[in-house]
Structure 1
């Protein structure tokens, strides 16, 4: 026995608690190493968990924590906190590594990924079956490939829903009813072109500025999914007329920064992908199933809800053909044609 070993043995005999402490330290070491490996990733989303969009991110975080035993956690930052409230900067911030993960909007990311404008083409998708045909079909694969080419890894689809139009002035039942109305739109040139084609005066502004503008009458109307109209109580700011026209839908995308993705091991990547798909499917179903009750609640508050027949819908389609002529080359003619074929097959 070495002198050092004899010294330790003698010391532990005289001080039993020291031996116990050393044993405890040895037992704690694997746990401490485990905790040292635990990792937290940021998740950006535009809306809070009062909305299905925010609930999608929270569901993802919940599933990841549960399945990883807490070894991998997602911290959700709602209301575009990580980009100072400017939702149009989310994609760029994720590319730069300022955001690890996101549940983002095809609309907000479309300035950086032109192919995402596919989903904003007016009256392309008439129903949920058409949305699914695109996101789960060849169109969706091509869009995901375009996103990945920009340094972002797409994992799964969610859904923000069909966007409907409301205003404070009159029922919108035909294209001419939009003439002269100031309509708040998101920061996408395609939206500007669509409402200009319909004779409206589109006004681009962030959602944070939209409600005050609606309150003061600086703008006459807005377009958003039923969930936003309902939860944000848009009827309280003079939006007395709501037209259900399904003019476009906004799929959500669960995605990761490419450098962050490469830093994960295979098990972590599989976990994030599987939980993103599960959270996306859950949120999509929940969002769609809730629309009937949302509509009932909205009508009960005195909002005039207009549903368009097929002839009325065709008039809106005809009025926006110039948008297709302008945007198909930017999105990609092959992609638009693939989407048209998939929508037709879904019907």
Structure 2
């Protein structure tokens, strides 16, 4: 009967082809993978550009099989940048290009880079990150559930304010200075006689606009791109009191699901993106300073005697924080700086 006739060989061939195509499509879906990358600043800033550079390199070299989707402005933690490390450790974030400052509440060793006036110049930063101290920092991060892959750099942080020239510690007396959510920053600015006020970057510019705070500290790249001079910050003091290296990193559970080739690709591209971003940040420093001065900002460059007055005023911070960071780590950093 017609209804019970066996399928033709041609029909079976079509069915088999359809199944095969479906299997290939499913395999392609499985093979293609997207990972979420968190960062605090957008690609208008070198920090955000570093994350995007990483994403571009990965997409190019994986032929689209592995993609990184960048979420700037701390979107994945509702704007609270100090929660980024915890969110990555718990699996809410796959990857990040994060700040040593923002991650320091969860990784005390990262406070090394926030010790005031520890690193006098860029060669000192490199001596730490490229040597034993840098390895110890990476070990500390990995012991807390996050895999560090490479270094970047947000740059030396300078001081700005709306009240006047600051060239000695007494000039900071009573000034409300916006700082990030790190107790070490509170202690540093308290030692200098200021009134440190903790707030996220999202809240900082409105506070500067209204005069709720008198000043802030950030790299020149942030001052320049965010046009902080437009909210009354007419005075900048170049004091290089700390540098904020960035860290490319991955959630440990996500990392464990990657193939060896994918791990090698992520690490290789992170190192490349980090080196690219560090070079760009440093090369643009003088250009940014010139642009800031052209906009009428008064720039004070401390001489050696003035600089030493700030160093002396913050010595007490070391007594409290070196034991928390780890005396061996701080000694390794100092030895690397001395030997550079």
Question: Normalising by the residue count of structure 2, what TM-score does the alignment of the two structures yield?
Answer: 0.95
- For 1:50 and 1:236, the matched residues in 2 are separated by 17
Residue 56 of structure 1, aligned match among 50, 53, 62: 50
Aligned to 2:231: 237
Structure 1 residue 324: Cα displacement:
0.5
| Number of aligned residue pairs | 337
Aligned to 1:167: 161
Structure 1 residue 31: Cα displacement:
5.5
Residue 138 of structure 1, aligned match among 113, 117, 132: 132
Q: Confirm or deny that 1:312 pairs with 2:302.
A: no
Name the larger-Rg structure.
Answer: 1
- Equivalent pair of 1:35/1:71 in contact (CA under 8 Å): no
Alignment of 1:319-330 (within 5 A): 319-330=313-324
Aligned to 1:204: 198
Structure 1 residue 206: Cα displacement:
1.1
Alignment of 1:19-168 (within 5 A): 23=17, 26=20, 29-30=23-24, 32-168=26-162
Q: Secondary structure at the match of 1:166?
A: strand
Q: Secondary structure at the match of 1:306?
A: strand
The runs of at least 4 consecutive aligned structure 1 residues that moved more than 3 Å come to 4-7, 18-32
Give the gaps of 5 or more residues in structure 2: none
CA RMSD of aligned residues (A): 1.7
- For 2:37 and 2:238, the matched residues in 1 are separated by 32
- For 1:134 and 1:5, the matched residues in 2 are separated by 79
Aligned to 2:181: 187
Q: Confirm or deny that 1:293 pairs with 2:287.
A: yes
Relative to 1, partners in 2 of residues 1:5 and 1:110: Cα closer, same or farther, differing over 3 Å? farther
- Equivalent pair of 1:180/1:200 in contact (CA under 8 Å): yes
- Equivalent pair of 1:214/1:221 in contact (CA under 8 Å): yes
Question: Normalising by the residue count of structure 1, what TM-score does the alignment of the two structures yield?
Answer: 0.93
Aligned to 1:267: 261
Structure 1 residue 216: Cα displacement:
1.4
Give the gaps of 5 or more residues in structure 1: 13-17
Q: Confirm or deny that 1:337 pairs with 2:331.
A: yes
Structure 1 residue 34: Cα displacement:
2.7
- For 2:291 and 2:322, the matched residues in 1 are separated by 38
- For 1:310 and 1:67, the matched residues in 2 are separated by 48
Aligned to 2:241: 247
Relative to 1, partners in 2 of residues 1:209 and 1:7: Cα closer, same or farther, differing over 3 Å? closer
Q: Secondary structure at the match of 2:242?
A: strand
Q: Secondary structure at the match of 1:150?
A: coil
Describe the superposition over 1:216-261 as per-residue Cα deviations: whole angstroms up to 9, x where unpaired. Answer: 1111100000010000000001111101100001000000000000
Aligned to 2:8: 8
- For 2:15 and 2:288, the matched residues in 1 are separated by 61
Describe the superposition over 1:100-126 as per-residue Cα deviations: whole angstroms up to 9, x where unpaired. Answer: 000000000000000000000000011
Structure 1 residue 36: Cα displacement:
2.6
Structure 1 residue 207: Cα displacement:
1.2
Q: Secondary structure at the match of 1:111?
A: coil
- For 2:15 and 2:43, the matched residues in 1 are separated by 46
